[in-house]
């Protein structure tokens, strides 16, 4: 209590005053809602004059003598409520009539003890005011939950917010407040939910099975990234939070599933910026008897369907760019992309020559990098940000792709693609390597890179090797970053805007 400001102290006094009047500010009984703000407004002709029970937060209150207007915000939107002192009835047991004292007490509650942010229930009928606004005429009012902290006040001019709860750090730390007071925030996360729902629908319609694989793993495999390390007390062993789901999902293909997918959290102990968060959501899908050409077609059709489900069109405005997810997408080999953008013919260069070109381009700390990593860095430095429309970058060098099948007609390259959209990688996919001897040799080469100082190089997963030796059919797999997909589909500028609770530094 000693750290309370004046407004918080007044609210606690109102809380106690309610209790003194015999009103429970946090009732346990169910409150049955029969209508929602947006539904009433959208279908007023059918609601006009009908009884309704609504519930939500009190967002504004204008008391004008006997008559008052409040704005109620429910889970779908806002609606005006008209409250007349002569009409409002104190809540009593069914079939009973409120006494004069009970009625007077309840008028006090409404006028003096209810605050902005309180949850209330309204029972009344739908009508349109003389000013033409669709409203609910209150007959009964029920306190459902008292708010002890005042909400930030957002000011509007011509329907546009110009002052209020807009500091990014505050918004991300207190997303619960952000969702209440800032228009459009909740809509972003409803769209994110539509992305996931549509993705599952597409996979389920294709007959693929959603599965769950371990988050705690003894080997951080399936990608090139720094892991988080934790300790399992009962086993007395260090374990890793997974950086990818790939190797476990491939085990299931070995086990006989036609297609498996997982949508879940991955963890990478790396930097944080506008497009990276240390824990993120990824979807990985693996389908037997397919290759990366099939996967490109499947992916572009998937994204086209998601775009229409989320926005009603394949076109999305992202900053200054209009991105069109209409299939098909352009396909371009990575070495051709680099040659187009820089004039460098890396296909004819050895590792040292590529290293020298990387240094000229400003790539730092090249000594521990192998040929594949150098090509990746050059592509990122000179090309990646230039691909705005969805583009499949294909046929990566083998050094960059330790889990990928060798290209059937291009020596030294693999059957892999990355999908670039708005200057960022959105998806990564392969014709999966299923030759256990080749896979073991690739892991050995990765260990050599680790010895040179590459802390993102893969280690050998001996159980996965054992699984491959039992035989894995030809398979294609893909990983799609859900957070980046949400950024694109909602037109948001940063990953923090599409994560309900992004990772933050501890509060001071």
Strands lying side by side in the sheet with 391-394? 209-210, 259-267, 279-288, 475-481, 424-431, 416-421, 391-394, 330-333
Among 78-87, 94-103, 134-143, 386-395, the minimum mean pLDDT is found in 94-103
Confidence of residue 94 (pLDDT cuts 50, 70, 90): low
Whole-number pLDDT of residue 161: 60
CA 43 to chain centre: 31
For residues 56 and 73, the answer to whether their CB atoms sit within 8 Å is yes
Report pLDDT for 93.
58
492, two tokens: 């948001």
The reply to whether 275 and 147 lie within a common domain is: no
Of 56-70, 123-137, 150-164, 273-287, minimum mean pLDDT range: 150-164
Across the range 481-485, mean pLDDT stands at: 97
pLDDT higher than threshold 60 for residue 1: no
Q: Is residue 170 part of a domain?
A: no
Domain assignment of residue 172, yes or no: no
Same domain, 124 and 263: no
Residue 160 bridge partners (DSSP): 157
pLDDT of residue 423: 95
Are residue 226 and residue 277 in the same domain, yes or no?
yes
End of a domain among 104, 132, 151? Answer: 151
Domain membership flag for residue 57: yes
Confidence band (pLDDT; 50, 70, 90) for 349? very high
Whether the pLDDT of residue 162 is over 70: the answer is: no
Q: Is residue 231 part of a domain?
A: yes
In a shared domain, residues 104 and 211:
no
pLDDT at 221: 85
Does residue 189 share a domain with residue 146? no
Write out pLDDT tens, residues 330-339. 999 999 999 9
> How many independent structural domains does the chain possess?
2
pLDDT band for position 102 (cuts 50, 70, 90): low
CA–CA gap between residue 139 and residue 137 (Å, rounded): 7
Model confidence at 160: pLDDT above 90:
no
Does any domain span residue 468? yes
Regarding whether 103 and 229 lie in a shared domain, the answer is no
Structure tokens at 317: 């405005």
Instruction: Identify the pLDDT of residue 65.
Output: 78
What is the predicted pLDDT for the residue at 401? 86
The DSSP call for residue 3 is T
CATH number of residue 413's parent domain: 3.30.930.10
- Taking the C-alpha atoms of residue 351 and residue 346, their distance in angstroms, rounded to an integer, is 9
- Do the Cβ atoms of 412 and 440 come closer than 8 Å? no
Model pLDDT for residues 420-453, shown as the tens digit of each residue: 999 999 999 999 999 999 999 988 888 887 777 6
The answer to whether residues 61 and 116 touch, using CB atoms and an 8 Å cutoff, is yes
Is 101 a residue whose pLDDT tops 60?
Answer: no
- How far is it, in rounded angstroms, from Cα 193 to Cα 199? 10
Shared domain for 10 and 117, answered yes or no, is yes
Rounded mean pLDDT of the chain?
A: 92
**Do 144 and 256 fall into the same domain?**
no
CA dihedral 262, 265, 268, 270 (to 10 degrees): 130
Within a domain: residue 363?
A: no
- Per-residue pLDDT tens for 5-27? 999 999 999 999 999 888 899 99
User: For the packed helices 371-382 and 351-360, what is the interaxial angle rounded to 10 degrees?
Assistant: 30
- Measured CA to CA, the distance from residue 401 to residue 415 in angstroms comes to 9
Q: Which domain-ending residue is among 151, 173, 202?
A: 151
Residues 107 and 214 in one domain: no
Q: Tell me: do 263 and 322 sit in the same domain.
A: yes
Task: Quickly state the pLDDT bin for 112 (edges 50, 70, 90).
Answer: confident
Residues 198 and 268 occupy one common structural domain: yes
Domain boundary among 151, 168, 201: 151
Residue 82 resides in a domain: yes
Q: Which domain holds residue 17?
A: 6-151
Q: Which segments of 324-451 does DSSP mark as H helices, in order?
A: 334-342, 351-360, 371-382, 436-451
Tell me what percent of the residues of the chain surpass a pLDDT of 70.
93
> Where residue 141 sits, what CATH number does that domain have?
2.40.50.140
The number of helices, as runs of H, and strands, as runs of E, in the chain is 15, 20
pLDDT value at 207 more than 60: yes
Following CA atoms 93, 95, 99, 104 in sequence, which dihedral angle do they give, to the nearest 10 degrees?
60
262 assigned to some structural domain: yes
Q: Is 90 found in the same domain as 27?
A: yes
């Amino acid at each position: 209590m000693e750290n309370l400001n004046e407004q918080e102290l007044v609210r606690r006094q109102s809380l106690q005053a309610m209790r003194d009047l015999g009103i429970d500010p946090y009732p346990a009984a169910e409150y049955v809602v029969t209508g929602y703000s947006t539904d009433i407004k959208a279908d007023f002709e059918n609601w006009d004059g009908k009884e309704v029970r609504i519930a939500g937060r009190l967002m504004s209150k204008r008391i004008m003598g006997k008559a008052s207007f409040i704005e109620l915000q429910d889970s779908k939107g806002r609606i005006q409520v008209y409250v007349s002192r002569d009409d409002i009835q104190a809540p009593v047991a069914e079939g009973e009539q409120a006494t004069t004292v009970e009625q007077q007490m309840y008028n006090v509650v409404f006028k003096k003890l209810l605050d902005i942010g309180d949850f209330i229930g309204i029972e009344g009928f739908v009508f349109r005011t003389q000013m033409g606004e669709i409203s609910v005429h209150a007959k009964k009012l029920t306190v459902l939950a008292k708010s002890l902290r005042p909400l930030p006040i957002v000011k509007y001019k011509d329907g546009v917010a110009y002052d209020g709860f807009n500091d990014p750090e505050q918004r991300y730390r207190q997303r619960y407040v952000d969702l209440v007071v800032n228009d459009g925030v909740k809509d972003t996360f409803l769209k994110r939910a539509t992305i996931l729902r549509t993705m599952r629908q597409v996979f389920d319609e294709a007959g693929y099975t959603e599965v769950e694989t371990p988050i705690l793993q003894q080997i951080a495999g399936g990608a090139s990234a720094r892991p988080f390390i934790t300790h399992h007390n009962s086993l007395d062993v260090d374990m890793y939070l997974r950086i990818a789901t790939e190797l476990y999902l491939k085990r299931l293909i070995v086990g006989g599933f036609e297609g498996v997918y997982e949508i879940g959290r991955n963890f990478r102990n790396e930097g944080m910026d506008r497009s990276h968060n240390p824990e993120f959501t990824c979807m990985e899908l693996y389908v037997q008897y397919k290759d990366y050409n099939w996967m490109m077609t499947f992916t572009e059709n998937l994204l086209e369907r998601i775009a229409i489900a989320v926005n009603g069109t394949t076109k999305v405005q992202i900053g200054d760019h209009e991105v069109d997810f209409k299939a098909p997408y352009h396909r371009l080999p990575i070495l051709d992309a680099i040659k187009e953008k820089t004039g460098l013919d890396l296909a004819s260069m050895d590792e040292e020559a590529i290293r020298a070109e990387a240094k000229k381009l400003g790539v730092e700390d090249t000594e521990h990098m192998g040929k594949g990593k150098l090509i990746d860095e050059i592509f990122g430095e000179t090309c990646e940000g230039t691909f705005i429309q969805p583009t499949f970058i294909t046929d990566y060098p083998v050094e960059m792709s330790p889990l990928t099948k060798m290209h059937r007609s291009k020596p030294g390259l693999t059957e892999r693609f990355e999908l670039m959209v708005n200057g960022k990688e959105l998806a990564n996919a392969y014709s999966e390597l299923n030759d256990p001897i080749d896979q073991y040799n690739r892991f050995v080469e990765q260990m050599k890179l680790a010895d040179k100082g590459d802390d993102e190089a893969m280690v050998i997963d001996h159980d996965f090797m054992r699984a491959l030796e039992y035989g894995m059919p030809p398979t294609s797999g893909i990983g799609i970053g859900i957070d980046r997909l949400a950024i694109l589909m909602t037109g948001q500028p940063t990953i923090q805007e599409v994560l309900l609770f992004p990772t933050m530094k501890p509060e001071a």
